[in-house]
Every structure is written in C-alpha cells, then in structure tokens.
Amino acid sequence: ILCIIALCLIIASCYQIFTYRKKQQIILSELNEKENLLLQKDIELREEKISVQKAQEGWKIQEGEIIMSKKIGKGSFSNVYVGTWSPLKNVPVAIKVMNDQNATIFDDSETLLLQRLRHPRLVLFFGTGILKKENKVFLVSEYMSGGDLMNFIKKAASSGDYEAMYPWKKRVKDAMDIAEGMNFLHSQEWVHRDLKSANILIHSNGQCKITDFGLSKSLQEISKEKQTVYNNNKKKKKEVVISVT
C-alpha cells in the first residue's frame, strides 16, 4: 500500500511539474508574441516617421527656385504673386507669401492640409519654403488665371447684363464644383471654416477650385476645443455652426 501511495505521489508530482512547465511555455510564448508585436509596431512607427520626414523634405522649395513676377492678390494674412518655379520651367504658379514672420512651414494648418489632400476640385499645392531675407514663409500652388469667384460675380453684376455674363447653367456648374470639393473635404473629416466666393478660384477652363485652407481644422480638433461658432474677422458672421455634444 505504501508503495502504491508513494507511486501516486510521484505521478502527481510529475503531473504538477509537467503542468507547471506547460503553463510556463504558454506564458513565455504569449510574452514572445507580445514582444514581437511591440517590435513590429516600433518598426512601423519608425518607418512612418521616416516617410513623414521624406514627405516633408519633398515639400520644401528653395528660395532660389522661385521668381515672383506680379502681385495678384492681397489679404490680411498674405500676399499672392504670379511667378515661376524652376521644376515647372515656364508654367506660371501662384506664390503666397505669409505676412507673419513667426509663421512656420509644417505647423501651419494650411500647409499640413494641402500636403495630405489632393482632389480635382482643390487648388493643387506644390510645396513651401522660406524667404530668408524677410524670414517669411511662402507656399507655391497652381496658378488659376480666372481669378476668384467674388470678382467674377462683381464684374458680371456691374456689366449691365448679369444673366448673359453669368447664366444659370454656369452658376449651377460652379455650385456643383464647389459642392464636390467640400464633399471631399468633409469625407476626410476636415471643415474649411472660411468658404466664400473669394476663396473659390477659377481655372482657365472655367472649372472652380477651393483654396485658402488657412482656417481649416479637423473635426477632431474642433471637438476637443468644443467650438460652436467661428466669427470671421470679428464681424460675427456665422459661416459655420458646429454642434459639439
């Protein structure tokens, strides 16, 4: 009987040891898997950081690469010139020079947005740089020879024949172009916050494109700030009302 009891104890001890080692192996295996996942995530984050750095490098334009020919627009935050950018040779481009000397390239919301978003109804962005002597940021984008929609409407209104200058067919087409561009922005969870006729540019082919994203923000950022109304230029103009619950 003692031998049987001893044998049972030995078997039980062996089973416990086997079970313990099995659990240890499972735990070690899980730890290795988690470690590998963390390592993979770390690699992915590093690769993403490298790709972002490369992308930023790709958007940088040297001052010597641009030539500003003529001022075509002036605003509270910037002046716009028509000029050339050496990689595009003789193709005219729009060069926006920010008035604020403290403006930075990659923290500016307009630059970040334009870097990420590409659409036929958004003005094409080429890159950005710094005018070293003035210490001002400039942005290079496609040149829209038709000017802005606000001036076009003013010219049509003062022509004496508004219907002929700006027929309903053209108005509906422009509205569709703008709606298409805004729909894309919203699909990317961005709000323009300064949509107006002055920020709609007209291509030489008559197509409208949205520009001036300096006031744009993501819905996540707006939600964090719990912002409900944006007052444009202190005129209490309720362009966009966003409810945040």
Query: Which positions are annotated as active-site residues?
Result: 194
d(CA 159, CA 150): 14
Q: Count of CB atoms within 10 A of residue 190's CB?
A: 22
d(CA 94, CA 147): 11
State how beta strands 229-231 and 238-241 pair: antiparallel
d(CA 111, CA 34): 38
d(CA 184, CA 194): 16
Residue tagged 């508004």 (tokens): 162
d(CA 185, CA 143): 21
SS3 of 159-170: the string is CCCHHHHCCHHH
d(CA 54, CA 56): 5
Joined tokens for residue 19:
């079970």
Helix (H, G, I), strand (E, B) or coil at 93: strand
